[in-house]
Amino acid sequence: MKKVGAFAVVASTLFVTACSSTMNNAMTEKQKSIELYRVFDIKTSADRYEVRDAASDGLGANVSSADEHNPIVMGDVPQKPGRFKPSNAAAGMGEQMGGMMQLAMKMNSSLSNMLKTAECEGAVWTATARRTVSNAFDMSFNLCLWEYQEGYALDVYANYTKLEGGGFLGIDGLAREAAYAISGSPEAWAEKTVLDVVREIKSRTGGEITYLEGYPKLETTPWQDSGEVFNSEGVLAPAED
């Protein structure tokens, strides 16, 4: 009987400890910084202005603000498109302004994310956009459109700060769940924004959109909900029944 009683005490202690750990994890507010990129090939005979305008309108449907540029690109159209390069201005600023600035940026991932961008050397159109949902996420996008001899290439880089935890019934937790219910999760919103850009390009130019690469793994739900998916060849096409 003593052994049984001792076992029961140990088992109950482990159960309480496990529950306590789970509850503590749920109560802990977490701030996660996430980066995403997508690379697309666009085959179309449309000129750069049509492709640019379609991309701009698709982007504008999902963001709070956008800053667009149309650089002068001279010379022959290249055989291969360019490729974006991630750039982190926070690193340089931290070095210049000292240890306190570096510490502040480490503690405020949202501030640090705002300074992460994409360099688009040689692109014919670039856009920097933001989407902020209170108590949920702060997201930024960089888009680069290149023209090359076989069509166009579109690179999309996004980064966002996602808040999690903070309690099941806390004010912040409830506000966050309400925000997600209205706007969708950050992951879904990022994919929807990308989807609306490439879908608008396809619709307006009649082009063929091919997904080449990206990180993290492509979230399929927003694409499927639109009635289109990327098939085994990576081409955006109507979903098969």
Q: What pTM, to 2 d.p., does this model score?
A: 0.77
Measured in degrees and rounded to the nearest 5, phi and psi for residue 27 equal -80, -20
What is the largest distance, in Å, between two alpha-carbon atoms of the chain?
90
Q: Which strand (E) or helix (H) includes residue 11?
A: helix 2-27
**Chain segment 112-141, per-residue pLDDT in tens:** 556 688 999 999 999 999 988 776 678 899
Structure confidence by residue, pLDDT tens digits, 39-52: 999 999 999 999 99
Paired residues of 131 in beta bridges = 139
How wide is the angle at C-alpha 71 spanned by C-alphas 66 and 75, nearest 5°?
A: 155
CA distance 200 to 207: 10
Peptide bond into 216 cis (omega under 30): yes
Q: Which ranges constitute the DSSP H helices of 84-123?
A: 89-97, 99-107, 109-114
Distance CA 156, CA 211 (A): 11
Per-residue confidence at 224, pLDDT binned at 50, 70, 90? confident
